[in-house]
Structure 1
Amino acid sequence: MKLVDLPVELLRNTQLFLDPRDIICLRKTCKDLASATYERVVWLSALIQACAKHGIYKPTFPLEDMSQQDLEEATLAPFRFLSLFGSAGRVGPKRTQILPVSRHPGNAREDMLARLWLVPGGRFLFTEDFHHTIHLWDLGLSSHTDIKMSPLASLHGKRAQIKQIRPTDDGLGVLFIAHTGLEQGPRQMQVYEIYPLSATPQFRLLGKLDTTNTDVPGSLLAFTDSLVIFVVHWTITFWNFKDNSSQTWSLNALFVKELVVIDEKLVLSDGRSLTVRKLPSLDLAHRHSLNFKEAVPILYTTNTNDYFTIIPPCSWPPNDSIPPYITFTDLTLDPRRRTLGLYTSVTSGDAKDGVLSPPMTLHREISLLPGGDNYYRPFYGPSRVCCDSVIQICAGVGDIVEGFVIGFAPPMPTTVHSMTTLVSTELFDCARYEARRGSIAFCPFSGRLCAVLKHAGSTQILIADYLT
């Protein structure tokens, strides 16, 4: 029996196991097979699988209301965006929109619109305004839709700064950890949840923990499905916000420059080495008898000859098509050179505990602007997985935003994934808008970039879509 003689139902079901690009290849073979590739159920399944693979926020797409063409375009969007890299040294957005920013008349500080957080999928955006108010916006599905100019929900009067975001356990809501500075009393770590598609979206406080009056940078904070881990001075705190239990240990002489959680392990960096430790059990009965080194044993340590800094990762869970990874850049004595590399998590054959492979580095020249004895350092935003690659955003000289694509070679039976390519493309130049760059948020799955543009006397949030 020929392939074209198979019943339509079998052809349809077979496509449920195909990569989206293979479905398109099947469409190009002949008319008889092409008709089966236009079945709505084929692309509905393909989009659901693509969202799961890329860690996309579930409510991003109204699946029941989407046509076959809508489903197909959304599924193929990450492949289309990835194809822009390498095709030209510079690509521009297909459409830009402006999100309004309110400003207090008596506030002259332009940099208080500190951060943007784009939920993976590119539809929902968190912002912090000049009054430390957090807004949640619905940007729409693609460049074809207009942005809703009123926020879905706002959190007022908390003086809260979002540190990281992640999905709720059911995948339908968003959690975020905020560090608040109250007018009276100590600072607090607070965890909120919100369901953007509920009838009346509201921020709900899940838990809070008093901290010192010291700000906690994002490089010293990690956020899991139940834990908030952060370092202040020479102490490290593990807080389970679900049952409100916590442990704080002295680090003694252990210097921690950065920390991340990767593959259910705690990774600590001192700038020259990485130490992998188990996440502790918060047994309050032993809080006074255990020190940090006893409670959180070392699984693996790697040392380098160069100083490096970890690029703060995206706290939203990544996909499982490539191993868990950490991106980093070195701090060489030559300010004209930077190294972009990865640490990947590897499971050894004779043990279940994850270890980190040696760094696999790729080199690229980056022009830097001198400023006296100091040099302008590029800003690296969180990386995201796109198809089987990692895209790392960099905003450097002249407020030019670049995207770096790191490709992976398929793993051999006795090896781990290795980086094979590094392609860069200029995505955005703030000078074209006569503005300086502020915070950046990015979603390669949808091909959407959000940036704070600072003009003389005003600030805007630009929404740039690179796909039509």
Structure 2
Amino acid sequence: MNHTTLGFKDFQSLPYDIHSLILSFLSPEDIIAIRKTCKIIFDATLQRDLWMKAVTRMCEENTALPSSFPIPDMSLLELEYASLGVTRWKKLVIDAQNEGQGSLSAVRDISLGNDDIQSAQPYLVPGGRFLLTLTPGRFSIWDLYNIHEASGADRQPIAGFDSECGSFTAHPTPDGSGIIIITVTYHNFTVEDVDIREYYLDFTSVVGNCLVLLYGPLVKIWNFILMDERTIALIREREVRVWDFPQLSASRDAQEEFKKTPESGLSNVVPPRFVVGFPDDYSQDPDYGLGCGGLCDWYTGSRQPLMFDMWEASAGAEYFEFTRFHLDTQHPQGRLQITSESPAQLTLQSSDSRPSCAAYRACGDDAVVAWSDNESIHCHTGGLSSHSRTNSINTLLDIKNVASREFSLCPISGRLCYVNPDTHDVRVVDFFPLPPSKA
């Protein structure tokens, strides 16, 4: 068999579409680096199709909503900027930490209008373009794509409806082209004639075509829930119990099921497929208070791993230690592993400033944890997988009295939305500069 070595001159002589195909297997950072080798490769990296594919791949890998980026209408420079969202976030947080302060500098801070909002729940859809806000009596959807170009009066929601719901969740449609929004109105359900508002709805999720609600006293014994399209994992202080996703019947009377409690008897009790304890090298001290957090519910059924953090306070409540776990549901008996590096140790401003953590966001090989401590909003960027070497703690914003349900962070777009407790408005903070064509 004859082996032919392809020389650099032979590579240069290949058609542009072959160059584009080869370059499409590279990361955006590698494409930027390789364009410096010669003019032919430089010209090949200027093909729109190459960067359109790079943005699409970035959305797939980070479970971002594809319509966050109007790809056909974006300039070449805008496509490059968008595809580098993960790299830009990591560089931003690492550079800030290396400079000694760790605080990120905002390049824009925009108000969406002062409606004297006393309480609101903002949610940035992964991708950073669409913002969902729930205020008393009103649910609104905002398009933030060119929000910097609009004047104050023109900053209006693109859609909305009157609603008395107290909670909501959002998920991508199966084809990724839209957003499924589930709102929950507490007073529509009662448990043994007790208004469910006394218990609060703890978890809402969409898996395939199934809506799952865990509510009231039936969920009080659990710390946290993880789900994918095949399993439900309930995390307790000493163990994790995993069920196969049950077969649901549309003929069952949902109202009657909601009224059943452990005292009156639950029908169709299903034992877990397996129960797995925490590793021997992990110890907890419940006297200091335990917490649990994991990826945002948006990532249910996505390529993101089933991971979660357990955190506990130190004896003097001076800091919280986080330990990250990966749950392997494919193992016959289940397997719970501590990731290679402890993700963070959060130093508290005062002994009574227990951190209020938002659900985590995926950013390449990292998970980004955002929390407030009554003094500031912070974030930690650290390993979602064994491939990551990032471990950075940063301050996003110095502002007091913002709860976890009052801010939302999308790292791949470098954007934070929060409710200002002083001016009672929803604000949009950008940490990424605009592409030169839009600046």
TM-score (norm 1): 0.76
1:224: which partner in 2? 207
Question: C-alpha separation between the residues in 2 aligned to 1:96 and 1:142?
Answer: 11
Work out the CA distance in 1 between the residues paired with 2:63 and 2:192: 32
Contact 2:409–2:415 (8 Å) recurs in 1: yes
Query: What is the aligned partner in structure 2 of residue 391 from structure 1?
Result: 368
1:448 aligned partner: 415
1:165 aligns with 2:178: no
Task: Please say if residues 229 and 300 of structure 2, whose CA atoms lie closer than 8 Å, have aligned partners that are also in contact.
Answer: no
Tell me whether 1:178 sits opposite 2:161 in the alignment: no
Q: Distance in 1 between matches of 2:193 and 2:181?
A: 17
Q: For 1:317 and 1:365, locate their aligned partners in 2 and report how far apart those are by CA, in whole Å.
A: 25
Contact preservation (8 Å) 2:365, 2:385: no
What corresponds to 1:204 in structure 2? Answer: none
Structure 2 CA distance for aligned equivalents of residues 318 and 293 of structure 1: 25
- 1:391-410 equivalences under 5 Å are 391-398=368-375, 400-407=376-383, 410=386
Deviates more, 1:277-286 or 1:32-41: 277-286
Segments of structure 1 that go 5 or more residues without pairing to the other structure are: 104-109, 189-208, 237-253, 412-418
CA distance in 2, matches of 1:334, 1:123: 41
Distance 1:20 1:262 in 2: 29
2:437 aligns with: none
Deviation at 1:319, TM superposition (A): 9.2
Q: CA deviation at 1:313?
A: 3.5
Residue identity (%): 21
SS at match of 2:34: helix
Matches within 5 A, 1:296-375: 296-303=271-278, 305-306=283-284, 307=286, 308-311=290-293, 313-317=295-299, 323-348=305-330, 351=332, 355-358=335-338, 361-370=342-351, 375=352
- Read off the aligned partner of 1:257 and give its amino acid letter: N
Q: How many aligned residue pairs are there?
A: 398
Alignment CA distance shift 1:11-1:169 (3 Å): same
What's the CA shift for 1:280? 1.3
Separation (CA, whole Å) in 2 of partners of 1:141 and 1:264: 39
* Structure-2 change in CA distance of 1:143 and 1:18 (3 Å): farther
Distance 1:280-1:211 versus aligned 2 partners, 3 A rule = farther
Distance change (3 Å), C-alpha of 1:74 and 1:218: farther
Q: Distance in 1 between matches of 2:131 and 2:292?
A: 25
Task: Tell me the equivalent position of 2:353.
Answer: 376
**The residue matched to 1:86 in structure 2 has which SS?**
helix
Q: For 1:210-245, what per-residue CA distance to the aligned partner results, in whole angstroms no more than 9, with x for missing partners?
A: 996213646444432333333334436xxxxxxxxx
Other-structure match for 1:425: 394
Whether the 8 Å contact between 1:343 and 1:358 is mirrored in structure 2 is yes
Question: 1:185-234: per-residue Cα shift (whole Å, max 9, x none)?
Answer: x349xxxxxxxxxxxxxxxxxxxx99962136464444323333333344
Is residue 25 of structure 2 the alignment partner of residue 12 of structure 1? no
Higher relative contact order (CA 8 A, sep 6+): 2
| Contact persistence 1:56–1:121 (CA under 8 A) | yes
Structure 2 counterpart SS, 1:297: coil
TM-score, length-scaled by structure 2? 0.80
Matched with 2:128 is: 122
Amino acid corresponding to residue 58 of structure 1 in structure 2: P
Deviations 1:345-377 (A, max 9, x none): 32556x4x864324663441412423xxxx221
The residue number in structure 1 matching 2:108 is 95
Unaligned runs of 5+ in 2: 1-6, 97-101, 434-439
SS of the equivalent of 2:208 reads coil
* 1:60 and 2:68 aligned: yes
1:110-147 CA-to-partner distances (Å, cap 9, x unmatched) read 6432x111111111111122x32111111115767778
Separation of aligned partners in 1, 2:383 and 2:151? 34
Aligned residue in 2 for 1:437: 402
Instruction: Note if 1:267 corresponds to 2:233.
Output: yes
149 and 211 in structure 1: CA distance in 2 versus 1, 3 angstrom threshold: farther
| Shift in Å, 1:392 | 0.9
- Mapped to 1, the partners of 2:301 and 2:89 lie a distance apart of 18
- Deviation of 1:312 after TM superposition, in Å, equals 5.5
The aligned residue for residue 45 of structure 1 is 53
Q: Find out whether 1:154 has 2:154 as its counterpart.
A: no
Q: Does structure 2 conserve the Cα–Cα contact (< 8 Å) formed by 1:279 and 1:296? A: no
* Partner Cα distance (2:364, 2:156) in 1: 33
Shift of residue 15, structure 1, vs aligned partner = 1.1
- The residue type paired with residue 69 of structure 1 is L
Deviation at 1:332, TM superposition (A): 4.5
Residue type at the aligned position of 1:235? L
Residue identity in the other structure for 2:208: D
1:295 is matched with: 270
8 Å CA contact 1:187, 1:212 repeated in 2: no
User: For residues 357 and 111 of structure 2, what CA distance do their matches in structure 1 show?
Assistant: 23
State the Cα distance separating 1:422 from its structure 2 match. Answer: 2.2
When residues 95 and 211 of structure 1 are mapped into structure 2, their CA distance, relative to the original with a 3 A threshold, is farther
Q: Relative to 1, partners in 2 of residues 1:406 and 1:363: Cα closer, same or farther, differing over 3 Å?
A: closer
Asked if the contact 2:295/2:307 (under 8 Å) is kept, the reply is no
- Distance across 2 between alignment mates of 1:337 and 1:126: 32
* Matching residue of 1:257: 223
Residue of structure 2 in register with 1:201 after alignment: none
1:23/1:368 CA distance change after superposition, 3 Å: same
State the alpha-carbon separation in 1 of the partners of residues 385 and 196 from structure 2.
Answer: 43
SS of residue matched to 1:160: coil
User: What is the one-letter code of the residue matched to 2:227?
Assistant: V
Counterpart residue number, 2:218 = 235
Contact 1:53 1:320 in 2 (8 A): no
Equivalent in the alignment of 1:192: none
